[in-house]
Amino acid sequence: MLLNVMIVDDEAPIRSGIKMKVDWEELGMQVAAEASDGAEALELIERGDIDLVITDITMPVMDGLNLIRKATEINDNVKFIIISGYSEFEYARTAMKYGISEYLLKPLKEAEMRASLLAVKEEILASEPAWLKEREKREKLKIKEESLLHWLSDKSSKHVPADVVQEWKQELEANRFLIGVIKTEALDSSADDPERIRNIVLYHEIETACSEHLDHLGDGYVIKNIRPDHEFILLLHPDPANGKDKIVRALTPFAEKLEKRLGIRVTIGIGEAYDQAHAIKASYREAVYAVKERLLLGTGKAIDYSRIPVKSDKPNFNAETKLLTRFLKEKKWDKAKEHIDYLFTNVVRKKQITNHTHVHELFFEVYFMIKQFSQEEAAVHSDYAVAGSVADITDIVTGFSHMDQMVDWLYLYMESACQHLIGGQDATGKEIVYRVQAYIKEFCSSDLTLNMVSEKYHINPIYFSRIFKTYTGESFNNYITRIRMEEAKHLLETTSLRQQEISEIVGYEDPKYFSKVFKKFFGISPSQYTENRSPEMTSGKP
């Protein structure tokens, strides 16, 4: 069996050069994957079939050191060879702390590379029985889980397929079945699309936590299944008497525990319990429906399908949406944005919406209204571009956890679809945001608050908060933190100022709090960041 190798470098010619450097099959290896940065590599490692990673140190998105550190959290069986230049020796020395197997200096020499590869191969094969056993276990588990996932997603299959019966024989011998699905999101509502690097590590920790918690719920199984509407599936076997109620009561504290432990919001949808194995699909559909109800019922809890209000007829939104059409035709863009916000707030207040499908219907109604208006204008003015459809719009809607996210997305879509019309006529909101961004960059050491800035620019703070996120993609507070941290990093790289001085320059009176924020943002403390830099970089040389 050949060892699977992955090559990680941000330059394609270098990756090709490494591939051409040796005869991989002769060494008992194969290049199974390539990645252009650490984040992409981490996703491939997370799949579980990579044995050895050859990685550069300096790369965009995620560098080699962070890749090694995070990869060991996911799979500590993966071996690493790092490639470094002489100027990166301090980085290479730091990497040794993470237990890398070998490191090579640039430019690569065939003999040295062969020797390193053979040394790592010997290290892996020294524990060959354990290595083979682990790989076979991963492959069997993958086949088992894929059989169930395929069945759950196959709308035409009514009976339990033969491959599911074979792979899940032990679990299907139970006399009661219930499905739960888990949806996660960042605690900070501004981070609706958390960076994938953090997600990969978190998913691994969540999966481990779920497996541990299942011991308290009796027999069960957790499957990772990354989709817009959920990331994990729980197959549970409740007691016939009060087993389901026990599960519901146990899962809400579990969601709260994950929030405190991992800093994420977890919502769990729970389907009905059934006596027949073929009804697992029905329980799954109910669980997915239940987790989508977080739009109205809130996040961070377990939502029981049986307690969701009975579905009602689709509401008529014509009266509410008519005014939006008028604002679009009059090209009053800020008024149109405010009315979109009002639409979603008002229908909930008036109880016109009783479940998440109604929210989705209102979203689609507004979406198609904006799209139709843009296309009608393009038909009249031949030089205007026609607004196209959003290809994965259904997946986008399914992924929303709050109505605020829907409103923000519709803001951006309107701006994109009507950009040929907006053209600066009514761009006051955008202009204010750009002015505020410039102000923050110039006065990041000042005590900056949302209310203070809103007052300075004579704008409602709630409305300003929303348009700031619409135009920048991040919250006001997150933007300030990022600007301050980038400036602090720059000062650490280019000056010999003490940490306390840098802390004051970037707006933090308390150096300890500054250090805490810096570590949360970059993953290491300011002092560690300085220590990890090479002598040339520390002295401020390019």
Q: Count Cβ neighbours within 10 Å for each residue of 364-395 and write b for 16 or more, e otherwise.
A: ebbbebbbebbeebbeeeeebeebeebeebee
Q: Where are the domains of the chain?
A: 3-136, 168-307, 317-425, 431-532
79-84 and 220-224: which strand pairing?
Answer: unpaired
Give me the CATH code for the 431-532 domain, please.
1.10.10.60
- pLDDT value of residue 376: 82
CB 333 within 8 A of CB 428: no
- pLDDT value of residue 55: 92
- pLDDT value of residue 190: 40
The C-alpha atoms of residue 440 and residue 66 are separated, in whole angstroms, by: 30
- pLDDT value of residue 91: 59
State the SS3 of 233-302: EEEECCCCCCHHHHHHHHHHHHHHHHHHHHCEEEEEEECCCECCHHHHHHHHHHHHHHHHCHHHHCCCCE
Per-residue pLDDT of the chain (542 residues; tens, 9 = 90+): 789 999 999 888 889 999 999 999 999 999 999 998 888 898 888 877 899 999 988 887 788 888 888 888 888 888 999 887 755 556 556 656 666 778 888 788 899 999 999 999 998 888 777 777 777 887 888 899 999 999 998 888 778 999 999 999 999 998 899 999 999 887 654 433 434 444 566 777 888 888 888 777 767 889 988 777 778 999 999 888 778 888 888 898 888 888 888 878 899 999 999 999 999 999 999 999 999 999 989 899 999 999 987 767 777 888 778 889 898 888 888 888 888 988 888 877 777 788 898 899 999 999 999 888 888 877 765 554 444 455 578 878 887 888 888 888 888 788 777 766 655 444 456 777 888 888 888 888 888 888 888 777 766 676 678 778 878 888 888 899 999 999 999 898 888 888 988 998 998 888 888 998 898 888 888 988 887 764 443 333 33
Tell me which residue of 227, 233, 185, 242 sits closest to 207, measured CA to CA: 233
Amino acid, res. 485:
M
Q: Which residues pair with 83 in a beta bridge?
A: 56, 104
Question: Which CATH number among 3.40.50.460, 3.20.20.70, 3.40.50.720, 3.40.50.2300 corresponds to the domain 3-136?
Answer: 3.40.50.2300
- pLDDT value of residue 165: 93
CB 77 within 8 A of CB 56: no
The C-alpha atoms of residue 289 and residue 283 are separated, in whole angstroms, by: 10
User: Positive or negative, the Cα torsion across 424, 428, 434, 439?
Assistant: positive
- pLDDT value of residue 426: 42
- pLDDT value of residue 534: 45
Q: Count Cβ neighbours within 10 Å for each residue of 273-308 and write b for 16 or more, e otherwise.
A: bbeebebbbebbbbbbbbbbbbbbbebbbbbbbeeb
- pLDDT value of residue 381: 59
- pLDDT value of residue 98: 63
The residues, any chain, with a CB within 8 Å of residue 29's CB and separated by 6 or more, are 2, 3, 4, 5, 52, 117, 121
Q: Residue 484 is inside which H or E element, if any?
A: helix 476-494
CB-based burial label for 209 (10 Å; 0-12, 13-18, 19+): middle
- pLDDT value of residue 193: 40
Per the document, the length of the chain is: 542
CB 220 within 8 A of CB 168: no
- And the tokens for 128? 């060959």
CB 442 within 8 A of CB 501: no
Distances (CA, A) of 290 to 187, 229, 283, 301, 363: 20, 11, 10, 11, 19
Tell me which residue of 108, 162, 145, 365 sits closest to 235, measured CA to CA: 145
The C-alpha atoms of residue 476 and residue 469 are separated, in whole angstroms, by: 7
The C-alpha atoms of residue 124 and residue 130 are separated, in whole angstroms, by: 9
SS3 at position 506: coil
- pLDDT value of residue 105: 81
Q: What is the DSSP letter of 8?
A: E
Amino acid, res. 491:
L
Q: Residue 304 is inside which H or E element, if any?
A: strand 302-304
Other Cβ atoms closer than 10 A to 158: 8
Sheet holding 232-236, edge to edge: 220-224, 232-236, 178-186, 264-270, 302-304
Cis amide leading into 107 (omega within 30): yes
CB 531 within 8 A of CB 85: no
The C-alpha atoms of residue 183 and residue 266 are separated, in whole angstroms, by: 6
Provide the CATH topology of domain 168-307.
Alpha-Beta Plaits (3.30.70)
The C-alpha atoms of residue 79 and residue 470 are separated, in whole angstroms, by: 43
CB-based burial label for 95 (10 Å; 0-12, 13-18, 19+): buried
Whole-number CA gyration radius for the chain:
27
The C-alpha atoms of residue 450 and residue 461 are separated, in whole angstroms, by: 7
